[in-house]
Amino acid sequence: MPPVGENIRLARIRKKLSQQNMADELNITQAAYSKLERDETKMDIDRIYEIAEILEMSPFDLMPKPKYGLSINLNFLEGLPNRLRNLWKRLRGRPVDIELSEIPNPLE
């Protein structure tokens, strides 16, 4: 995954905006904006949101994806209703004594 600055640069080019256009919108110099794209200046979340607004996109598309654990496993979600239905059928009429291993893990 490219760094944030590279993602911003690519999005800016797709929108056919110059660095000067972006700098003007952000009230900074073109040189300061250029440093943002080269990741020579650290950006806080507010600046990323501001840039995303100018580029008319989600700030999450500009940021790198997390390495672990924050994504949604679609296969898990698709199969969840059937797994819960089967678990309910097995438990009906029995005292509730579920092993943790019987509960689906959404991160798998």
Q: List, as one string, the DSSP characters of 65-96.
A: PPSSS-S--HHHHHHHHHHHHHHHHHHTTS--
For 7-17, write each residue's pLDDT tens digit. Answer: 999 999 999 99
Check pLDDT > 80 for residue 56: yes
Angle between helices 45-55 and 19-26 (to 10 degrees): 120
pLDDT tier at 63, thresholds 50, 70, 90: confident
The angle, 0 to 180 degrees and rounded to 10, between the axes of the packed helices 4-14 and 45-55 is 20
CA distance 55 to 50: 9
Q: Is 72 or 82 the better-scoring residue by pLDDT?
A: 82
For the stretch 17-42, pLDDT in tens is 999 999 999 999 999 999 999 999 98
For the chain, which domains are there?
Answer: 4-61 (1.10.260.40), 68-108 (no CATH)
Instruction: Residue 18: count other Cβ atoms within 10 Å of its Cβ.
Output: 12
